[in-house]
Amino acid sequence: MKTYKEFRKSIGFPVKERKVEEVIRSEKPLKEDVVDQLRSVVKKKKEADIKFKSGTSVPIDPESAKTILKTFDTLNSSKKKKMQDNMNKDTKSFLKILDFAFSNAK
């Protein structure tokens, strides 16, 4: 017995493939720093996936990226380095930084 999808295909109806979102893990080293990726999102004014050293990625909108960068730019150099290291680590650390940025946004 044919599945519904196979039946539709056999009689000539177009069949749409379903896209499944999943966390992408890559073995490649991080090419671009998270801060650079955030600046790119703000510049393009388009949502994009931010990739981390752990290989995971998370989508972020331009407004959130702008808030994080505004907080990042107000810090001194030692705090910037610490924040940058935490942002590059993984999704969990990045989301903590995102919460921090929104709590300090004026």
**Structural domain spans, the chain:** 23-104
Distance CA 26, CA 32 (A): 14
Asked if 47 contacts 77 with a C-beta cutoff of 8 angstroms, the reply is: no
Tell me which of 43 and 8 has the higher pLDDT.
Answer: 43
**Given this model, what pLDDT does residue 17 score?**
62
Q: Can you tell me whether residue 51 is helix, strand or coil?
A: strand
Distance CA 52, CA 34 (A): 7
Asked if 15 contacts 1 with a C-beta cutoff of 8 angstroms, the reply is: no
Distance CA 57, CA 54 (A): 9
Burial class (CB in 10 A: 0-12, 13-18, 19+), 50: buried
**Given this model, what pLDDT does residue 1 score?**
74
Q: What is the pLDDT of residues 13-29, one digit of tens each?
A: 776 665 555 555 555 54
**Given this model, what pLDDT does residue 38 score?**
96
Q: State the pLDDT confidence band at 105, using cuts at 50, 70 and 90.
A: confident
**Given this model, what pLDDT does residue 31 score?**
64
pLDDT surpasses 70 at 30 = no
pLDDT (mean) for 30-57: 91
**Given this model, what pLDDT does residue 22 score?**
52
Single pTM value for the model: 0.69
